[in-house]
Amino acid sequence: MTFTKEFVVEQTQSAKAMGSGTLDVLATPSAVAMAENTCMQMCDTLISEEETTVGTQIDFNHLKASSIGAKILVTAELSRQEGRKIEFNFSLYDKENLVAEGKHTRFIVNKKKFMSHIE
């Protein structure tokens, strides 16, 4: 099972704007958010309305810089689901260039029960 989502790199997602670097290129934290968002949205078909998923682990390799305005295609692939634990492999492409890749783990939680520990 795979899911692909397209993002356009905005100025607010630059390393300079995010404070993670000094250049106007896609910031690693922004690229991580793109990957996590794609995995999260892929989970929508796996959960009920009372549930959501939360990210618990990410292994991220940022391999190539991308400019402001670049179109980034993120593809998430479900690699394993064991009970409430869901594991993904993902890749980010800028045109034909691999920008980043990694693995992400999410857990299915009941929204009310999860939030009751915080409130």
Please give the domain boundaries of the chain with CATH numbers for all domains: 2-116 (3.10.129.10)
Q: At 103, which amino acid appears?
A: K
Per-residue pLDDT tens for 9-27? 999 999 999 999 999 999 9
Q: Give the C-alpha separation, 51 to 47, whole Å.
A: 6
Provide the 3-class DSSP secondary structure of residue 43: helix
Per-residue pLDDT tens for 81-97? 999 999 999 999 999 99
69 Ramachandran zone, left/alpha/beta (phi>0; psi -120 to 50) = left
Per-residue pLDDT tens for 42-84? 999 999 999 999 999 999 999 999 999 999 999 999 999 999 9
pLDDT band at 3 (very low <50, low <70, confident <90, very high): very high
Q: Residue 117 has what pLDDT? A: 86
